[in-house]
Chain A
Amino acid sequence: MNKEQLPIVVPIAKIEDENEIVKNFYFDISIGAKPGQFVMLWMPGVDEKPISVALDDGKQLVLTICSRGKATQEMAKMKVGDKLGIRGPFGTHFLTNEGETLALVGGGYGAAPLYFVAYEAAKQGCKIEFIEGARSEKHLVYMEKLKALENTNIHISTDDGSVGHKGYNTEVLKKVLEDTKVDKIMTCGPEIMMQKVGEIGEEAGVNTFVSIERYMKCGFGVCGQCVVDPLGIRTCVSGPVMNYKVAKMFDDFGQYHRDSVGKKEYFNPK
């Protein structure tokens, strides 16, 4: 890893609305990020947050950000030309090989890093079954960009049935696995959803890769904030992308994560 961990400060080159609360921020740099890796994004005077990379094509870096917390709401107010700091890329990535058939299962804006997977995999001649779940049609992301990719079938599920399958994306995944011989499943989104995806993949005998999000401060394995029980491994270094077989050994997986002071926070409070 690069021994200098100072942010590179660059202006926002372009901003694009993905939906009402999700925007794409473009930067005219490449940091050599691979699909599934993340950066630490410094919003001077606001905060610094781990953000997964939605695209790094060698010329531009794209970060897709959903405004849901204080920092990301500030981010949503940023304009072209505003300067932001970037450190990274950090962590493990999704690995694809030429000619594979992939099922990519995204929940909400978890679809963004999977778009990066699809973008790279399409160039490798992979066949892609892209399964995206959202609350409703207007919450979908990356639809136009996905349609432009080769060898990519798009499957949609919405909670309200406004478009596609009414219900969960995991139900769509089951159907896809019945119809298609899939080599790998990759998923990003709410952890409880990824847990279900992992179970389905395991049942079908398909290797499944999940993307684990934990509270992070440094991004380079020192602060100890992103560790999981009972192995004590650091998700910023050994993750975020992990085989489901590893993730399911965690006490935390689908259950809890730790907050900024290290206290457990359950996904479904008891």
Chain B
Amino acid sequence: MANLQVKYLGTEFENPTVLASGVLGVTAATWKSVVNSGAGGITTKSIWLNEHQGHPNPTIITTENWMMNAVGLPDAGLEKAKEEIALYSENKPAPLIASIVAGKKDEFAVIAEEVDKLDVDILEVNISCPNVEDELGLPFACVALDAKSVTEDVKKVAKNKPVIIKLSPNVTNVVEIANACAEGGADGFCLINTLGPGLAINLETRMPILANKVGGISGPAIKPLAVKIVSDVYQATKLPIIGTGGITTGADALEIMMAGATLVGIGTAVFYRGADVFRKVSKEMSDWCDKEGVKSVEELIGTAKV
């Protein structure tokens, strides 16, 4: 059987699949159950310094091809995160990536400094959620200077943990933003956050279905965009990447790894294939590698002839 282990920024992962931020990640008990379902690692829901209310319902709708959400980053804040991370650390079953978020640029350093002290392996800085614009304005990942300065601020205080930046596909040139983050000291990237925002209207009521009206688009429809952006950023920066966006099958995971991803984030596919999608995707990757005579999945990273 092919070796699925990968090393990402100094941390060993049993397989490349990680739970993407925003899906299922509310409690330590859930993180553990997702690892039991085969995930190689976990990304928390985005952690705020203080309690942050999400949007009212409806917050998530789906079709066969896409999901659209405006959950709005609800979180109980740092104190609860500390409790959950401590709980997860008892018999820690797999690496933990802490997603952090803030409303103002200068607040990222505050939450980063705190989370850097906890038993997490990597800090993922979420500067790209597209469904909180009404509240927070244009995401920082949309302006190169902002993205760079947030990266610098976080890098200054995160003394213990590697820092990766989660970028938005909703810009003219992602590579320009990625280069700016790299100049700011980013250790890697998570690519991509949800697309859009988009809008879905119910015919009978002529009203947007989501209470927030607009939401971020994920799911199978956005995969080709994710693969392209991972490929572009990998070629430009050579920094290690968590590739995510519509990854649903082992073939999808292998494709985004060939484009340049080391780890593969899976979120929306929990809906399409169940909570054990991680085990299914790993098995499919392993089967393909065996068939093709690939001994270690790590060999495939960035090998696409783009």
Contact = CB atoms under 8 A, between A and B. Distances in A.
A237 B53 CA distance: 24
A234 B276 CA distance: 13
Interface stretch (A156-164, A176-184, A194-202, A224-232): A224-232
Contacts of B57: 40, 42, 47-49, 217
Given A7-B209, A232-B31, A222 B23 contact: yes
A261 B272 CA distance: 25
B60 A223 contact: yes
**Which of B24, B32, B53 has the most chain A CB atoms inside 10 A of its CB?**
B24
Contacts of B268: 222
Given A220-B271, A222-B23, A232 B75 contact: no
A262 B207 CA distance: 29
A85 B202 contact: yes
Nearest to A230: B29
A218 interface: yes
Given A224-B24, A232-B27, A262 B63 contact: no
B52 interface: yes
A6 B60 contact: no
B76 A3 contact: no
A124 B238 CA distance: 66
Given A48-B58, A232-B32, A260 B74 contact: yes
Contacts of A229: 27, 29
Interface string A222-248: 111101111111100100000000000
A218 B59 contact: yes
A269 interface: no
Nearest to A228: B29
A69 interface: no
B52 A7 contact: no
Contact residues of A: prevailing secondary structure: loop
A231 B275 CA distance: 14
Contact of A218 (B60, B77, B200, B207): B60
A167 to B, nearest CB: 36
B26 interface: yes
A83 B209 CA distance: 13
Nearest to B62: A5
A232 B32 CA distance: 7
Interface string A1-31: 0011111010000000000000000000000
Nearest to A252: B29
B26 A45 contact: no
Contacts of A7: 58, 61, 202, 209
B5 interface: no
Given A6-B200, A231-B33, A261-B51, A222 B58 contact: no
B54 interface: yes
B207 A44 contact: yes
Contacts of A261: 51-54, 74-77
A175 interface: no
B249 to A, nearest CB: 15
Interface string B193-212: 00000001011110101010
Given A7-B209, A261-B74, A44 B26 contact: no
Contacts of B56: 47-48
B39 to A, nearest CB: 12
B11 interface: no
Contact of A221 (B51, B200, B270): B270
Given A7-B209, A232-B31, A227 B64 contact: no
Nearest to B29: A232
B280 interface: no
B41 to A, nearest CB: 16
B26 A227 contact: yes
Nearest to B208: A44
A139 interface: no
B62 A3 contact: yes
B27 A9 contact: no
A5 B200 CA distance: 12
Interface in A209-223: 217-218, 220-223
Contact of B80 (A5, A6, A262): A262
Contact of B205 (A44, A217, A222): A44
Contacts of A234: 24, 275
Contacts of A270: none
Contacts of B275: 221, 234, 237
Q: What 3 A-B pairs come out closest when comparing CB atoms?
A: A232-B33, A232-B29, A48-B57
22 contacts: A5-B62, A6-B62, A7-B58, A7-B202, A40-B58, A42-B58, A47-B57, A48-B58, A221-B271, A222-B67, A223-B23, A224-B45, A228-B29, A232-B29, A232-B30, A232-B31, A237-B275, A258-B26, A258-B27, A260-B54, A261-B51, A262-B27
Given A9-B205, A47-B56, A222-B67, 17 more contacts: A7-B58, A44-B205, A48-B58, A218-B59, A221-B274, A224-B23, A224-B24, A227-B27, A227-B30, A227-B33, A231-B33, A232-B29, A232-B33, A232-B34, A261-B53, A262-B27, A263-B76
